[in-house]
Amino acid sequence: MRHTIRTTTVCLALVLAACGGVDDAAPVDEPTAETETRSDTATDAMDDTDSDADDTSDDADAGDAEQTDQVDARNINFEPADIEVTVGTTVTFTNQDIVRHTVTSGPSGEPDGTFDLPLDAQGDEVTFTFDEPGTYDYYCDLHRAMVGTVTVTD
């Protein structure tokens, strides 16, 4: 029993160290086969066979934004943080970390109510369809240094 407690303590210390000592990182239960994919649209039922690797844009006007429909929450960052998509694109946000995240619209700490999507466990995915052109700032409400932008063009 003593060995198990020590092992658990060491594992917990390693997890906290991997998170950079972030005090507000909320631990989550390990995902199971029953972990459900969460979505605010009905697109989960569709089988998306497109390769995200082929979605990059060479457009010089895009700046640092990458043409993709996939953003990962990884290492307490959004990757890629800045993307550019066209109107009607559904963007999938996936939690690759072992801590909870959110994808909340607005400047960091100032939610604007456009979307507030939970990424409760590693492997969770949420989607949002961008139907209007514009620039959409977003952040993680639990890790406010995690920020990104979706630029939507016609």
Domain extents in the chain: 2-33+62-153
Task: Reduce the DSSP state of residue 149 to 3 states and report it.
Answer: strand
Residue with tokens 């998509």: 85
pLDDT for 67? 76
C-alpha to C-alpha distance for 41 and 55, rounded to whole angstroms: 21
Reported as a single tens digit per residue, the pLDDT across 74-131 is 999 999 999 999 999 999 999 999 999 999 999 999 999 999 999 999 999 999 999 9
Which of these CATH numbers, 2.40.30.10, 2.60.120.10, 1.20.1070.10, 2.60.40.420, describes 2-33+62-153?
2.60.40.420
Query: Under the phi-then-psi rule, with left for phi > 0, alpha for psi from -120 to 50, and beta for the rest, what region is 92?
Result: beta
What is the reported pLDDT for 108? 98
Helix (H) or strand (E) holding 72: strand 70-74
Q: What is the pLDDT of residue 31?
A: 40
Q: Given this model, what pLDDT does residue 64 score?
A: 58
> Which tens digits make up the pLDDT trace of 35-82?
334 433 333 333 443 444 444 444 434 455 767 899 999 999 999 999
Task: Give the confidence band of 140 by pLDDT, cuts at 50, 70, 90.
Answer: very high
Q: How far is 63 from 33, CA to CA, in rounded Å?
A: 40
Q: Are strands 70-74 and 89-95 parallel, antiparallel or unpaired?
A: parallel
